[in-house]
């Protein structure tokens, strides 16, 4: 296949038409040459940003609630399960296993890899994006990326301060982490869906039918 | 993939008389077109983003080798592998080799038009490996042994009852009299049928909407979640993509992520965007142990630096076909190769040769709606026009047609004669048309008059009317600036 590599690169070198200031650009390939447009709705801050976030989350057919501290997360999960008449069982993904689950002894919280294929999964988001109402989920040690796509119900926990205006602000934070970009970065905007049958939107194609967001203030 | 582009006219004639197909295509206006218009209308910066996207793409194409090298080195650094494929054969063999090394029996697949270009499913099956399409539309088509007719909504040519029939036939273990009248039931049934296939697969193959050079990430933009199950559950993830899909940075990705879903399905964001970088890290619970990126050229490098280079900017949103009156009338299969609609008509001649596909650039009215909606501003009609010129210069058209065009050119470059002759023709048509109440037959225009009458000209040609108006206005003291 190295032969193919040579062929392709030779063809590109032969045919490409460099831009006028190419020398400057090729030395500095990755550095931002020009800043791209960020829409006004991705440039908000403070309350306006959080309002935009909530609006977009709801528009994506996900649901949202706020709790005042991490301690309140387990009760919020129990309430959600009761509201949807679901059994008191869930898989808590990675760090979500560390919430004070003992506060809700009626809830069977599973945290081992054998339980990733549970109907209800609770997971923590890395960031939220106000512009689109998207949640950013990243792969981490002791954490299952597949569990974001397997359940019927996906419950995502997000610290209030991790709501950011735009994707661009998330990329900044991704670069701030040590080491390479995580193997998997998922931007999740609402439940799984498909328009493959007569262009009609149907929720719950292969991934979660419902996405619920718990924002911790 | 073998092509039947040269049969476009026959294919189109059949398609126009297919009531089921016409019913399905008739939904594009209220469906994808209307949704795009609504989404674009809600983003005032949409045009600024289009300009950015065009600039980014042109910048990449000007230094494509550098960006590809950067991408490759980041993939290798993170423990992934890159396989270069000059031809479709190279790419097929690279994928097969990866599958055979891990003794793969079944392969799940996310939606990928490049693998259609490779006819990868047939190739894998011939080599004893079972491919399983997992995107709902692609799954339906695999059961029906059909090709996609659209690059985003592959089964857009089907109606719900077609799909219900296919499921009754294919899911034979289920009660044949079950209720499949709601789309939710069909979706649920496919979800059930495919769930175990995800867990059983040895290799997962996806495409890539983008390769990010900065991070060595491949990116898929999806709604169903099948692509994610395809690439996180098996022990091997193979990405099949093409050289022009590389973009510089994560910020550039964000620009495209604002344009693609709005243009494709009228969504502000798709349910899922996933960046995959290398194999899983040591303590990650899920993710592949091997990460391979197969990068196909397949004729694209020859477009670089050419007049038609901008066709490489395409982000495969499908807006051009959703808005094309020709696509809307005949559907995607009539085009006869992987990429239908205006983008197909502009791209296919470059990839399989204008000799085999010259019918496609002619399958356009040049109304220009495709250019208006293209998120990366590809001059699709200009590119199609250039393929028509090449068709003419390579003498691929009939001698009769070439003689006709030469005669026209001779006449059109002699204004005096041209105006006299057209004036006479217009007068003649008026006289004949008035007598018959519309023209039912015209020499050289049976293609038109076979289906409808030719409107009777008002009498004078445009040139003659302009001259007369100028004279009148000059008399009134008005001057044309």
Q: What is the pLDDT of residues B26-56, one digit of tens each?
A: 999 889 999 999 999 999 999 999 999 999 9
The reported pLDDT for the residue numbered B478 is: 65
> How confident is the model over A14-43, as pLDDT tens digits?
999 987 655 555 555 555 556 899 999 999
Q: How far is CA B469 from CA A81, B415, B423, B425, B480, in A?
A: 78, 19, 16, 21, 11
- What percentage of residues in chain B have a pLDDT greater than 90? 84
DSSP assignment of chain A, as one string?
-HHHHHHHHHHHHHH----TTHHHHHHTSSS-SSPPP--GGGS--HHHHHHHHHHHHHHTT-EEEEESSGGGHHHHHHHHHHHTT--SEEEEPGGGGGS-GGG-TTSEEE-SGGGTT-SEEEEE-SEEETTTTEEEEE--BT--SGGGTS-SEEEEEEEGGGEESSHHHHHHHHHHSSSSPPSEEEEE-SS-EEEEETTEEEE-SSS-SEEEEEEE-
CA dist., res. A42 & res. B174, Å (int): 48
User: What are the domain boundaries of chain A?
Assistant: 44-216
Q: What domains does chain B contain, in order, with CATH numbers?
A: 1-42+310-397 (1.10.1060), 59-298 (3.40.50.10420), 411-475 (no CATH)
Tokens standing for A92?
A: 């808590």
What average pLDDT does range A75-91 have in this prediction?
98
What average pLDDT does range B84-90 have in this prediction?
98
B96 touches chain A (CB under 8 A): no
Q: Choosing among B167, B232, B242, B289, which should be mutated to test the A contact, i.e. which has the most A CBs within 10 A?
A: B232
CB–CB of B145/B121 below 8 Å? no
Contacts of B186 in chain A (CB under 8 A): 197
pTM higher than the cut 0.95: no
Q: Which of residues 127-146 of B touch A (CB under 8 A)?
A: 134-137, 140
Contact across the interface for A146 and B232, Cβ inside 8 Å: yes
For residue B202, give the DSSP letter: S
CA dist., res. B262 & res. B319, Å (int): 9
The reported pLDDT for the residue numbered A24 is: 53
Burial A187-215 (b: 16+ CB within 10 A, else e): bbbbbbbbbbbbbeebbbbbbbbbbbbbb
* Residue A108, min C-alpha distance to chain B (Å): 21
ipTM: 0.95
List Cβ neighbours of B225 (8 Å cut-off, separation of 6 or more): A149, A192, A205, A206, A207, A208, B271, B272
Question: A44-216 has which fold?
Answer: Rossmann fold (3.40.50)
Element (H, E) at B85: strand B81-85
CB–CB of B227/B233 below 8 Å? no
The reported pLDDT for the residue numbered B136 is: 97
Q: Which residues pair with A193 in a beta bridge?
A: A203
Tokens standing for B334?
A: 């009539």
Tokens standing for B158?
A: 């089907």
What average pLDDT does range B60-78 have in this prediction?
97
The reported pLDDT for the residue numbered A31 is: 58
Contact across the interface for B191 and A190, Cβ inside 8 Å: no
The reported pLDDT for the residue numbered A62 is: 98
Is B246 in a helix, a strand, or coil? strand
Q: How confident is the model at residue B470 (pLDDT cuts 50, 70, 90)?
A: confident
Provide the CB-side half-sphere exposure for B48 (13 A, CA): 9
DSSP assignment of B403-459, as one string?
HHHHHHHHHHT-HHHHHHHHHHHHHHHHHHHHHHTSBS--TT-HHHHTTSPBPPP-S
CB–CB of B53/B247 below 8 Å? no
The reported pLDDT for the residue numbered A180 is: 87
Q: How far is CA B396 from CA B4, B283, B351, in A?
A: 16, 60, 17
Contacts of B317 in chain A (CB under 8 A): none
Tokens standing for A39?
A: 């829409």
Contacts of A33 in chain B (CB under 8 A): 59
> How confident is the model over B232-281, as pLDDT tens digits?
999 999 999 999 999 999 999 999 999 999 999 999 999 999 999 999 99
**Residue for token pair 């990460």:** B291
The rounded Cα B79 to chain-centroid distance in angstroms is 33
What average pLDDT does range A132-150 have in this prediction?
96
Q: At what angle do helices A2-15 and B64-77 cross, to 10 degrees?
A: 150
> How confident is the model over B148-171, as pLDDT tens digits?
999 999 999 999 999 999 999 999
Q: Choosing among A177, A205, A209, A210, which should be mutated to test the B contact, i.e. which has the most B CBs within 10 A?
A: A205
DSSP assignment of B290-322, as one string?
EEEEEEE-TTGGGTTTSTTGGGGG-----HHHH
Q: Which of the residue ranges A100-114, A157-171, B247-261, B399-413 would you say has the lowest mean pLDDT?
A: B399-413
Contact across the interface for A181 and B270, Cβ inside 8 Å: no
> How confident is the model over B317-327, as pLDDT tens digits?
999 999 999 99
Q: Which of residues 226-265 of B touch A (CB under 8 A)?
A: 226, 228-229, 232-233, 243, 248-255, 257-258, 265
**Residue for token pair 């073998």:** B2
Contact across the interface for A1 and B90, Cβ inside 8 Å: yes
> How confident is the model over A167-191, as pLDDT tens digits?
999 999 999 998 889 999 999 999 9
The reported pLDDT for the residue numbered B472 is: 84
Contacts of B56 in chain A (CB under 8 A): 36
CA dist., res. B67 & res. B57, Å (int): 11
Q: Is it the case that residue B212 has pLDDT exceeding 90?
A: yes
What average pLDDT does range B399-420 have in this prediction?
91
Taking alpha carbons only, the member of A187, A62, A130 closest to residue B253 is: A187
Q: How far is CA B449 from CA B95, B330, B398, B441, B445, in A?
A: 52, 20, 22, 6, 6
């Amino acid at each position: 296949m190295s032969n193919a590599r040579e062929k392709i690169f030779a063809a590109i070198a032969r045919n490409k038409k460099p831009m006028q200031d190419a020398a400057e650009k090729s030395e500095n390939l990755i550095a931002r040459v020009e800043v791209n447009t960020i829409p006004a709705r991705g440039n908000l801050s403070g309350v306006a940003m959080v309002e935009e976030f909530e609006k977009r989350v709801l528009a994506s057919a996900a649901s949202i609630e706020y709790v005042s501290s991490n301690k309140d997360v387990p009760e919020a999960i129990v309430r959600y399960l009761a509201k949807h008449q679901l059994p008191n069982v869930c898989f808590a993904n990675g760090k979500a296993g560390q919430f004070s689950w003992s506060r809700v002894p009626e809830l069977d919280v599973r945290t081992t890899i054998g339980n990733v294929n549970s109907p209800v999964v609770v997971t923590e988001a890395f960031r939220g994006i106000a512009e689109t109402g998207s949640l950013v989920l990243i792969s981490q040690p002791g954490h299952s990326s597949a569990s974001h796509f397997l359940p019927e119900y996906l419950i995502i926990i997000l610290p209030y301060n991790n709501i950011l205006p735009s994707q661009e602000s998330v990329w900044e934070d991704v670069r701030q982490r040590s080491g390479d970009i995580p193997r998997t970065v998922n931007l999740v905007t609402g439940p799984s869906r498909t328009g493959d049958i007569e262009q009609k939107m149907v929720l719950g194609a292969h991934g979660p039918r419902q996405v619920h967001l718990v924002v911790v203030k | 993939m073998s092509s039947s582009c040269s049969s476009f006219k026959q294919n189109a004639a059949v398609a126009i008389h297919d009531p089921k197909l016409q019913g399905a295509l008739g939904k594009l206006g209220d469906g994808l077109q209307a949704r795009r218009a609504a989404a674009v209308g809600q983003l005032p910066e949409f045009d600024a983003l289009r300009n950015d996207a065009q600039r980014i793409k042109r910048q990449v194409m000007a230094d494509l080798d550098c960006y590809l090298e950067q991408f490759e080195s980041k993939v290798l650094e993170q423990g992934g592998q890159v396989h270069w494929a000059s031809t479709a054969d190279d790419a097929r063999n690279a994928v097969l080799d990866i599958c055979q090394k891990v003794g793969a029996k079944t392969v799940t697949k996310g939606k990928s038009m490049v693998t259609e270009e490779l006819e990868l499913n047939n190739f894998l099956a011939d080599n004893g490996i079972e491919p399983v399409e997992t995107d709902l539309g692609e799954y339906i088509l695999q059961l029906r042994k059909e090709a996609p007719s659209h690059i985003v909504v592959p089964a857009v040519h089907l109606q719900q009852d077609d799909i219900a029939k296919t499921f009754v036939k294919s899911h034979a273990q289920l009660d044949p009299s079950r209720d499949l009248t709601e789309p939710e039931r069909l979706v649920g049934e496919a979800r059930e049928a495919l769930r175990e296939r995800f867990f059983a697969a040895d290799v997962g193959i996806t495409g890539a909407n983008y390769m990010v050079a900065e991070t060595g990430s491949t990116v898929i933009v999806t709604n169903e979640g099948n692509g994610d199950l395809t690439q996180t559950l098996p022990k091997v993830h193979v990405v099949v993509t093409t050289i022009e899909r590389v973009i510089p940075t994560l910020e550039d990705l964000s620009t495209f992520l604002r344009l693609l879903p709005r243009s494709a399905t009228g969504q502000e964001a798709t349910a899922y965007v996933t960046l995959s970088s290398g194999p899983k890290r040591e303590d990650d619970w899920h993710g592949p142990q091997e990460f391979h990126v197969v990068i196909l050229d397949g004729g694209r490098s020859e477009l670089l630096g050419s007049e038609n280079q901008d066709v490489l900017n395409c982000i495969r949103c499908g807006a051009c076909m959703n808005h094309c009156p020709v696509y809307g009338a005949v559907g995607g299969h009539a085009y006869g190769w992987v990429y239908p609609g205006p983008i197909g008509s502009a791209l296919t001649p470059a990839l399989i040769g204008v000799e085999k596909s010259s019918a496609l650039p002619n399958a356009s009215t040049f109304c220009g709606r495709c250019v208006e909606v293209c998120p990366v501003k590809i001059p699709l009609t200009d590119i199609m026009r250039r393929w028509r010129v090449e068709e003419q210069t390579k003498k691929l058209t009939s001698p009769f047609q070439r003689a006709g065009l030469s005669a026209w050119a001779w006449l059109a470059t002699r204004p005096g004669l041209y105006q006299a002759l057209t004036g006479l023709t217009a007068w003649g048509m008026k006289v004949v048309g008035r007598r018959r109440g519309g023209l039912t037959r015209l020499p050289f225009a049976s293609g038109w008059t076979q289906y409808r009458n030719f409107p009777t000209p008002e009498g004078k040609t445009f040139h003659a009317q302009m001259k007369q108006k100028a004279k009148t206005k000059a008399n009134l003291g008005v001057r044309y600036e």
